[in-house]
Chain A
């Protein structure tokens, strides 16, 4: 839990830090739309290149962003596999019969154990994973000895490969963009940006001021609540409520034993917090001033123009079907 980078501000000096949060929020939204408009891998590759260039100009460590992608690695792999298996368009690239036989299953089990043991080394985890997948494929493809349980056809179509790469790159770009936003924008600036952008909603009865306060208080208390949840878990584990062991019936009780204290503490905290806020002259709905004034400067204008340029480019690409 302690290594999640998405949603974490890291101080820095690049030009992205100097932008008005409103510019960044809007730009990221527009660029996401632009990415979704793109239709071919070549176009996406160009977009990906542009994203990398933004990182480099913004002096953001690419390694850092890549590390932030780790938690969604599984999602990427799943998307990839899903596309390869279920897309049946275009020319057939691979058509092979995979066999589940006695021998292949035994070897498969052995191979899985070897892989699990190797991952203990901690290094090259990613590479080992691909190696494992390749191994599984080879085993199922060539070890056809022994009693055969079942067979199935492993068919890969051109479109399948294309789409899977396409979808994964698109996801990568979108996640990189949003990571850049949260990495370079202080939570306070972010909420204030959102608040200012939501101002027009006042006319349909939503107070952007209150909304922003809710967001910033939530952000402030997330670490506290996580820490507390951890302590409650340990306190109940001390009474033998170890979720890992025990029957289903016990587990339900154990989950209740975590949730009830969490709610009660949260409730008490919200009362305390309301008292603290009120005693410091907070009146819901009343106008407040802010310490940070947002400035839409020259740099913002440039970024805005560039963003619009990129959007236009992607619309053109789609309409004219270039690449």
Chain B
């Protein structure tokens, strides 16, 4: 099961941009459990468009996407209830402002489950559970979502999707605009949700440090093409990332500079600061 992309293209014609190919010839499989995938690439490389294909919000221009057994192609098939796909694959948009609309956090989180005809009492339970999962206490249930801080809004919007209990959770740039601590907290949250529930989580990000530290797999898009699909380790071991318009994680950059300056042989592939320190000590001793 999971999601299979087969030679998917998506293009549109706009008045201003003219004919525009957002994603080109993408083939890719995403398992329905135990993956923490990051999707990276510069602005305009097609990351969001690709994410929107994962729960049939947009339909490919050609090729097909099979999502939990349902085949999505350019033609709408009346027999398929596309809405049901969205319960299996949840997509959280970048700005929580796009989805929050109820007067209480509880009602807002319940909106999703109620759309899928979950009884009210159960929906309430789901809301509580989802809120706990994103690390907010029950005291938030009766608060007005519009009075929360940016980070809290983001968490509530994620809970709104988690309440549907999707098997795959896709998040479009969830860490943008947050301070470094906020970023790390959110990534830790995704990791713990992933460990606890076994759901597959896909995170779109620009932050290579987070990719390196958290992801089990990384997808790189460049000008609409999938140019890399593998582990972060193998990505960052490439001698150059400039063709992908990506940078290396900070630890690798710093260690590489040190090696150059001091002619040392430190193993530069360290994911965290403390690992980097240990590697330096080892390198300097020998």
Interface residues in chain A, defined as those with a beta carbon under 8 Å from any beta carbon in chain B: 2-5, 8, 228, 231-232, 234-242, 245-246, 250, 253-254, 256-257, 260-261, 264-265, 268
Any chain A CB within 8 A of the CB of B112?
Answer: yes
Q: Which residue of A lies closest to B90 (CB)?
A: A238
Count chain B CB atoms within 10 A of each CB in A2, A234, A253, A265 and give the residue with the most: A234
Do A240 and B13 contact each other (CB < 8 Å), given the known contacts A234-B52, A261-B99, A265-B97?
no
Question: How many angstroms between the C-alpha atoms of A197 and B116 in the bound complex?
Answer: 55
Contact assessment for B15 and A261 in the assembled complex, using a CB-CB cutoff below 8 Å: no
Do A261 and B86 contact each other (CB < 8 Å), given the known contacts A234-B52, A234-B93, A250-B115?
no
Q: Which residue of B lies closest to A246 (CB)?
A: B115
Partner of B57, one of A3, A234, A253: A234
Do A257 and B111 contact each other (CB < 8 Å), given the known contacts A235-B98, A264-B97?
yes
Q: Which residue of A lies closest to B111 (CB)?
A: A239
- 20 new A-B contacts, CB < 8 A, other than A254-B115, A256-B101, are A2-B12, A2-B13, A8-B15, A228-B98, A235-B99, A238-B92, A239-B112, A239-B161, A239-B164, A240-B115, A240-B116, A241-B111, A241-B115, A245-B83, A246-B115, A250-B115, A253-B111, A261-B101, A264-B101, A265-B97
Any chain A CB within 8 A of the CB of B160?
Answer: yes
Q: Which residue of A lies closest to B48 (CB)?
A: A231
Which chain B residues lie closer than 8 Å to A234 at the CB level? 52, 57-58, 91, 93
Question: How many angstroms between the C-alpha atoms of A253 and B102 in the bound complex?
Answer: 10
Contact assessment for B101 and A231 in the assembled complex, using a CB-CB cutoff below 8 Å: no
Contact assessment for A240 and B87 in the assembled complex, using a CB-CB cutoff below 8 Å: yes
**Binary interface encoding of chain B residues 111-146 relative to chain A, with 1 for a CB under 8 A from any of its CBs, else 0:** 110011000000000000000000000000000001
- Nearest CB on A from B126, distance (A): 12
Question: How many angstroms between the C-alpha atoms of A92 and B3 in the bound complex?
Answer: 65
Any chain A CB within 8 A of the CB of B81?
Answer: yes
Which chain B residues in 61-82 approach chain A with CB under 8 Å? 81-82
Contact assessment for B161 and A238 in the assembled complex, using a CB-CB cutoff below 8 Å: yes
Partner of A235, one of B13, B93, B115, B146: B93
Any chain A CB within 8 A of the CB of B50?
Answer: no
Which chain B residues lie closer than 8 Å to A8 at the CB level? 15
- Nearest CB on B from A116, distance (A): 13
Partner of B81, one of A3, A245, A261: A245
Any chain A CB within 8 A of the CB of B177?
Answer: no
Partner of A240, one of B83, B93, B101: B83
Question: How many angstroms between the C-alpha atoms of A241 and B87 in the bound complex?
Answer: 11
Which chain B residues lie closer than 8 Å to A238 at the CB level? 55, 57, 86, 90-93, 99, 161
Any chain A CB within 8 A of the CB of B180?
Answer: no
Any chain A CB within 8 A of the CB of B276?
Answer: no
- Nearest CB on B from A277, distance (A): 22
Contact assessment for B146 and A240 in the assembled complex, using a CB-CB cutoff below 8 Å: no
Which chain B residues lie closer than 8 Å to A260 at the CB level? 101
Contact assessment for A242 and B101 in the assembled complex, using a CB-CB cutoff below 8 Å: no
Contact assessment for B83 and A242 in the assembled complex, using a CB-CB cutoff below 8 Å: yes
**Binary interface encoding of chain B residues 12-27 relative to chain A, with 1 for a CB under 8 A from any of its CBs, else 0:** 1111000000000000
Contact assessment for B112 and A231 in the assembled complex, using a CB-CB cutoff below 8 Å: no
